[in-house]
Amino acid sequence: MSDTKKSNASRKSRTHVPVDGYKIENLQQLPLTELVTIAKEVKVENPNEFQRKDLIFEILKSQVSRGGFILYTGILEVMNDGYGFLRSIDGNFANTSNDTYVSGTQVKRFALRNGDIVTGQVRPPKDQEKYYALLKIEAINYVAPEKSKQRPLFDNLTPLYASEQLKLEYNPMKMTGRVLDLFTPIGKGQRALIVAPPRTGKTELLKELAHGITHNNPDASLMVLLVDERPEEVTDMQRSVKGEVYASTFDLPAQNHVRTAEMVIEKAKRRVEMGKDVVILLDSITRLARAYNTVTPSSGKVLSGGVDANALHKPKRFFGAARNIEEGGSLTIIATALIETGSRMDEVIFEEFKGTGNSEVVLSRHVSERRIYPAIDVTKSGTRKEELMVSPETLQKVWALRNAMQNME
């Protein structure tokens, strides 16, 4: 989570919630000294003797025994058996002892889906129970449950070409957004690939994209998904981007990479169903495909490079979810694809994804070696149907500029 969100959460958490409506997530963010103070207020005996997690449990249990209730907001993960759990919004959807159980009956009654943000009253676990339990649903995706039932299914929405441009230039001193706006305009609902050899500045390019999106498009929800990345890069992204950052680092198993990615895309779909504009920055589609290749049961058919024939279906579904919606809303996915890594598998994955996007930004090692940033090869980069987003006058000038740059080479 970004510093801005953390500071906002901290300000909220320091306002004591009335005893008839403590929120688990608020208590989790309070320092231990404040938890002890609250515990004394609600008559918890010997609060200084409890560990933090147990003290929160005792506060909530005391609250319920006094006729109060507990409010909790979490993201829903539905299991194969029909029931589900509300995971922490602030984490990377990890399983914790503070997760809330949602019965299969509630899932069916309110037509709940994977990735829904559910707010409701919960109770602490009873004897022999491991999890909190959801008693009453107050809101789904921050609207009344009855209204949420009327939303359409994502797969039933009508996809269109991107027709409204996402302006990326936010600072006259930063050239990245300006270059992309001219040569590879990205619109709401775009499915864009950033083709990146090593050491060509793809991480910095993603940061510039994130800054441009949040600065010029405040109504769009930005989600950054980092798969198989280094922990220090995750921290750097969290601190520099004003958006939701989800990550599964390289020291975690492939199953965790896949689960995190699937929860992110489901959360994004639920927002699009509500008519919102969502942008996902994925680094990288190559490592996500590698993770799926690891967890997918063998089909007996292996492509060149050791890629299973069935392994790329789900990452293609992830990338293919990007679309502009006729009924309102959009899902934009901008993903990096790694090339020239020395791995045959990475080359096969790139070839499989090369024709699936409708915009391509090609980074050049030759350009980066000349210390020119952003290291974009404008002659190889481009966007399909860019005439839907850019005026004819601008298009003519860009074409002239492209021709001039080709002649310079």
* Whole-number pLDDT of residue 336: 93
* Whole-number pLDDT of residue 67: 59
Q: The pTM is what?
A: 0.81
Query: Residue 353: which of 367, 336, 365 has the closest Cα?
Result: 336
Instruction: Using 70 as the pLDDT threshold, list the residues of the chain that sit under it.
Output: 1-26, 53, 57, 61, 63-69, 407-409
Contact (CB, 8 A) for 257 and 287: yes
Query: Residue 190: which of 226, 225, 220 has the closest Cα?
Result: 220
Contact (CB, 8 A) for 2 and 246: no
d(C-alpha 269, C-alpha 276), whole Å = 9
* Whole-number pLDDT of residue 106: 93
HSE-CB at 389 with a 13 A cutoff on CA atoms is: 24
The CATH T-level fold of domain 159-407 is Rossmann fold (3.40.50)
Q: In whole angstroms, what separates CA 92 from the centre of its chain?
A: 10
Paired with 211 in beta bridges are: none
Residue type, 106: Q
| CA-angle at 253, arms to 252 and 255, nearest 5° | 125
Contact (CB, 8 A) for 24 and 58: no
d(C-alpha 373, C-alpha 367), whole Å = 8
d(C-alpha 138, C-alpha 200), whole Å = 48
Q: Where in the chain is the domain with CATH 3.40.50.300?
A: 159-407
Contact (CB, 8 A) for 332 and 359: no
* Whole-number pLDDT of residue 14: 32
d(C-alpha 365, C-alpha 344), whole Å = 19
* Whole-number pLDDT of residue 366: 84
* Whole-number pLDDT of residue 268: 94
Q: Write the CATH number of the domain with boundaries 24-149.
A: 2.40.50.140
Q: Where in the chain is the domain with CATH 2.40.50.140?
A: 24-149
3-state secondary structure the chain: CCHHHHHHHHHHHCCCCCCCCEEHHHHHHCCHHHHHHHHHHCCCCCHHHCCHHHHHHHHHHHHHHCCCCEEEEEEEEECCCCCEEEECCCCCCCCCCCCEEECHHHHHHCCCCCCCEEEEEEECCCCCCCCEEEEEEEEECCECHHHHCCCCCHHHCCEECCCCECCCCCCCCCHHHHHHHHHCCCECCCEEEEEECCCCCHHHHHHHHHHHHHHHCCCCEEEEEEEEECHHHHHHHHHHCCCEEEEEECCCCHHHHHHHHHHHHHHHHHHHHCCCEEEEEEECHHHHHHHHHHHCCCCCCECHHHCECCCCHHHHHHHHCCEEECCCCEEEEEEEEECCCCCHHHHHHHHHHCCCCCEEEEECHHHHHCCCCCCECCCCCEECCHHHCCCHHHHHHHHHHHHHHHHHC
